[in-house]
Structure 1
Amino acid sequence: MEDPKILETIACREALALAEDLNLTHVIIASNSKQAIADIKNGARGWNGSIVHEISLRATLFRCNFCFEGRDANTEAHNLAKFSLSRGPGRHVSLGQPHDLICIPPVVVFDE
């Protein structure tokens, strides 16, 4: 499956799943697909209707806003989406390289 609208709708669903896993209460989900955002906002019943329905149900758990953001403003997300097409089915988590310990400030504990 490589239909961009369906893939963008799935990405929005996955964003909500991640927000739920992280116990977030306020989320803004941006997509570079105007049609996917319109389908979510209007509760469309097309090819991505079952995904839109799931998003609608899950979105009630949050203060949630879906918005369109042009591709030039979200190149990282676009590149990640292109990369994910090369992965097999299922969910994959990639947290990138571990942080450089030099950049993480040490925790200071004071004894009283």
Structure 2
Amino acid sequence: MRPTVAQTQEFDSWLLDTFEWLRSPTFQQQGHFQLARILWGIWKTRNECLVEGKTPDAVQTLNRILSTDPPPQNSGTLGHVGVIPTRNLNPGIVEPNFRSPASGIKVNTDATFSLDSKRGAIGLIFKDGRGVTLFTHSRSIIASSALAVEALAIREVLLVSTNFQLHEVRVESDCQALISQIKSNRFDWAIAPILKDIQELKIAIPRCTFVWIKREFNTQAHNLAFQRLHQQFGPL
């Protein structure tokens, strides 16, 4: 069913008001979260339609958006970390030489890349302050270089952390060149857009640090990325 002229005009008016709101001081204070939960509600409905075959319901989508709790203000807790599902790795495994802040989440991140095919994959391991694996995530990526894939992996960490409203995140990577660029704000032009995204995303996380670690302490994230690459594309 095509929208009527009146519906189209009403939508145009709403869209213009939204653009004005995005430029307002209110958006700088709470708007990021408001926009995120609107987009999340729409995305959730879209997934239910495509994956589960449900009929889209505008009222249910609006109720889902309105029922999402706002982020805690000036809170030193980690929010609702318990909703993070554990997958890919066995839960409850403590890393022997684990080092992390007294509170917060440590994320090991790594990437693997094939120069010939320009295909890569990332692996993320989220752990609590005791070193217990809470959540793992991996996906395949097409990129121009190994450094770009490593940068996209860290960008993914911040996207996931923001989605779960984490307040203290320690990002660990064995890519020393990348960590140095993030800390110094001196960007390689080839990956500058990704690094600028990282700088913007970390603003939403009150305490976010980036740490270089030796490769031998990052084997879980490496293996996760390697497995994803070969599962997705086969031997390269």
- TM-score of the superposed pair, with normalisation by structure 2: 0.35
Q: Which residue of 1 aligns with 2:227?
A: 83
Gap regions ≥5 residues in structure 1 = 89-112
Q: Which residue of 2 aligns with 1:50?
A: 193
Structure 1, residues 30-61: CA drift from partner, whole Å, max 9, x if none?
A: 11100111121122142111000000000011
- The CA distance in 1 between the partners of 2:188 and 2:147, in whole Å, is 13
- Which amino acid is the alignment partner of residue 198 of structure 2? I
Q: Where do 4+ consecutive residues of structure 1 move more than 6 Å?
A: none
- The CA distance in 2 between the partners of 1:17 and 1:50, in whole Å, is 15
- The CA distance in 1 between the partners of 2:181 and 2:146, in whole Å, is 13
Q: Which residue of 2 aligns with 1:8?
A: 150
Matched, 1:27 2:172: no
Larger radius of gyration: 2
- The CA distance in 1 between the partners of 2:159 and 2:204, in whole Å, is 11
- The CA distance in 2 between the partners of 1:60 and 1:51, in whole Å, is 15
| Offset of residue 68 of structure 1 | 0.5
Which structure's relative contact order is higher, taking Cα pairs within 8 Å and 6+ residues apart?
Answer: 1
- Which amino acid is the alignment partner of residue 211 of structure 2? C
- Structure in which a larger fraction of residues adopt strand: 2
Q: Which residue of 2 aligns with 1:68?
A: 212
Q: Which residue of 2 aligns with 1:97?
A: none
When the two structures are aligned, how many residues end up with a matched partner? 88
How much is the aligned-residue C-alpha RMSD, in angstroms?
1.5
Q: Which moved more, 1:77-86 or 1:22-31?
A: 77-86
Tell me if structure 2 keeps the 8 A contact 1:6–1:36.
Answer: no
**What percentage of residue pairs aligned between the two structures are identical?**
28
